[in-house]
Structure 1
Amino acid sequence: MKRFTRRAAIIGTGAIAAAHAEALRAHGDRVQTVAVHDLALDRAEAFAEAWRIPSVHASIDELLANEIDLVHLCTPPSTHLPIALRCLEAGVTVLVEKPPTLSLAELDRLAEAAAKSGAYLATVFQHRFGSGAAHLRGLVDAGTLGPSLLATCHTLWYRDDAYFQVPWRGKWETEGGGPTMGHGIHQFDLLLSVLGDWERVTAIAARRSRPVQTEDVSMALVEFADGTVASVVNSVVSARQTSSLRFDFEKATIELDHLYGYSDADWTVTPAPGSPDVTWPAGTSKSGHHDQIGLLLDALDAGIEPPVSVGDTRRTMEFIAALYASAATGQQVRRGDIKDGHPFYGSMNGNRWTFG
């Protein structure tokens, strides 16, 4: 397969932008970071100097005129839709940070724009791309572990009141939700990437402590298409922080315990009694932006949709909408229930549900 040298730009120079710049630099033989934009021009200039990015642009239109192939979108969530639309309409592929949009309706608009322009939209869900997660999906696909039976997914983090003083955080109209939308999303996206289609969700959510409009904790019971049952817990009030996943298969239990990123050493395997040992890779790759960007570049070279595709993203976003809808109404929500015209299609709080 022929390799091309891509021209990338970073829009938004907050904390997460450094992870993108570092990963792009690691693939420097395949992609050049040539431009940066931020509403705070001085911050953009400092970022460009730190990462040796040659040009800083005062506007997105000016940046897009710079023969850009790929935009890394690292701005606050409420800006993702308008900026991504401009990029896609210009024929530029977009890799967008989580959450990709504030609602299913917004995501569907971006999907339409991508299909019309021929450019691609992909979402940063970097936990899918560590070698441990790839190995687990391979074992599942091969049937090595037997049927999936039970799973748990816990994102128990701590964010103090000061964290929410950033104006866009903790508000439905600017962040789209609480820890379900902005924190636990990485863990349960990994869960979904392993277990596949979910079928129904029963959930609760509450604001227990933080000065926000949204929830600060949520819990969901989930049934998957293959019959697997799972629990998903998201929190920003937990003093002992952990990110953990557990998969109970017929022939083994697979567990992952880490915080903000994992290596192969963070996975454990417990064979069921009478079952053979399961081999596990050692020290190959960590979760993070590096592997996802490498696979994105591979896809662009091949002319195919990169991971995580709009379809992959939509399954995760629909799960979030279903969790919120169930928590707000007290009713079980099935996959496919939330569509155009449903209150939770256009916003994750149904345009009315709030805790603050």
Structure 2
Amino acid sequence: MAVVGANGHGRWHRRVIAPLHASGRLELVALVDVRAVEPDPDAPVPAGTGVFTDHREMLRRARPDVVVVCTPPHTHLPIARDVLTSGADLLLEKPPVLSRAEHETLTDVLAETGRACQVGFQALGSAALTRLVAAVTQGRLGAVVGISTVAAWQRADGYYARAPWAGRRVVAGRPVLDGALANPLAHAWMQCLAVAEAIVGRPVTPTLVELERYRVRPIEVDDTATMRVTSRSGPPIVAAVTLAAEGFVRGEVIVDGTAGQAVLEYPTDRLRLPGDPGAQVVPGRVGLLENLLDHRAVGAPLIAPLARTAPFTTVLEVIQQAPEPTLLGGDLVTVSGSGADRVVSVRGVDAALRAAAEAGALLSELAVPWAVPPARIEVVAKD
């Protein structure tokens, strides 16, 4: 086992790996980062683990069987290609790639090498999501007429100083596409895509994306957005998210049917189905790394194979094409804290996003005074 991108979010992966190394399920043989590897008391570096600054040198010398890649999104494709052609299987952080062309290239590499690629949408391993999907496919909600998600988080100024690509759309001529929709809240609408996939029996094919994007800082990407995805089959999907919240909404997936509504609070695995007195925790998550190891050992199906993320990548490409986010300011925002802890919030944004998710609507369709008309981008089918 090796980790490329051992700092930052890579430390979370190291904490997942640590007990598996201790139990003998795997052996951590290498860590790679362009900076000195940060110590972590919950994931000490085992004796004999190689530390490298270049992933190609690591692949030559350590020859791992499985590699976690947790590097900036615009570096994923070349590193993933090197990992797969070296003969290793891959756990690739989300977003896996940033365009349909890159997705097809990586798909071709997988076919040529015969290796496996799991994508880091860890919430897809949730037993609560499995139960929600079962309720939907068994007709407990009746015919599904809409799927939506709402999440309201806060990110301080320090978040946008965490890396040279943070808050950026392009770095050195390559798409990066950090932002609320593409990065921290990507799990929210990927859950929605998973529910739609269960309804139609295959990953959906987006045909139209309607998008409103906003920002409260001089960044190049969105920190607040509403988005509606229409597909060739399946119900419409609406995402209403912010990193400039007044309060906190963990993240909910809302499925509306003719016979009732289901709500999954996906970060906590709390699920409410029609007829339930309230939300209940559904315990159990299958870790993506353990699932990948089981896939290698006994052929267990991957939870988040690259093919399952094709609709996500299609929508991500549309977001990349969309106009720059509208800057919000003046009396519309409030500021608290200072320095790296400075937080900017949009007045009334939590309630507005909640209303959008409940109605399956965009902010501009709800007459929110600061909302702008959406960009409407049709998805052209690729041959």
TM-score, reference length from structure 1: 0.79
In 1, distance between residues paired with 2:283 and 2:248? 26
- Give the 5 Å matches for 1:123-272: 123-165=119-161, 166-174=163-171, 175-196=176-197, 197-242=204-249, 243-257=251-265, 261-263=267-269, 266-271=270-275
Distance apart, 1:237 and its partner CA = 1.7
SS at match of 1:241: strand
Contact (CA 8 Å) 2:132, 2:271: kept in 1 or not? no
Distance apart, 1:304 and its partner CA = 6.6
SS at match of 1:146: coil
| Paired letter, 1:15 | G
In 1, distance between residues paired with 2:155 and 2:260? 34
Which is worse superposed, 17-26 or 161-170? 17-26
- Residue 31 of structure 1 corresponds to 26
- Residue 44 of structure 2 corresponds to 50
- Residue 20 of structure 1 corresponds to 13
Superposed CA RMSD = 2.9
In 2, distance between residues paired with 1:249 and 1:26? 42
Distance apart, 1:74 and its partner CA = 1.2
| Paired letter, 2:268 | Y
Q: Which runs of 5+ in 1 are unaligned?
A: 1-7, 272-276, 341-356
Distance apart, 1:226 and its partner CA = 4.7
SS at match of 1:33: coil
Which is worse superposed, 94-103 or 302-311? 302-311
Contact (CA 8 Å) 1:253, 1:270: kept in 2 or not? yes
Contact (CA 8 Å) 1:35, 1:53: kept in 2 or not? no
Distance apart, 1:180 and its partner CA = 1.4
1:304/1:37 CA distance change after superposition, 3 Å: same
SS at match of 1:43: coil
- Residue 350 of structure 2 corresponds to none
Post-superposition CA distance 1:248-268 (Å, at most 9, x none): 12333211236xx223xx222
Which is worse superposed, 181-190 or 234-243? 234-243
1:304/1:107 CA distance change after superposition, 3 Å: farther
- Residue 343 of structure 1 corresponds to none
SS at match of 1:256: strand
| Paired letter, 2:25 | R
- Residue 376 of structure 2 corresponds to 331
Q: Which runs of 5+ in 2 are unaligned?
A: 198-203, 325-373
In 1, distance between residues paired with 2:42 and 2:151? 33
In 2, distance between residues paired with 1:144 and 1:54? 53
Which is worse superposed, 277-286 or 22-31? 277-286
Contact (CA 8 Å) 1:201, 1:326: kept in 2 or not? no
- Residue 307 of structure 2 corresponds to 311
- Residue 362 of structure 2 corresponds to none
Which is worse superposed, 20-29 or 84-93? 20-29
Post-superposition CA distance 1:303-342 (Å, at most 9, x none): 47633112111121112223554667933424xx1648xx
Contact (CA 8 Å) 2:125, 2:303: kept in 1 or not? no
In 2, distance between residues paired with 1:221 and 1:117? 36
1:155/1:282 CA distance change after superposition, 3 Å: closer
Instruction: Say how many residue pairs are matched.
Output: 318
SS at match of 2:376: coil
Which is worse superposed, 177-186 or 217-226? 217-226
TM-score, reference length from structure 2: 0.74
Which portions of structure 1, spanning 4 or more consecutive aligned residues, are displaced by more than 4 angstroms? 44-49, 224-227, 277-283, 323-329
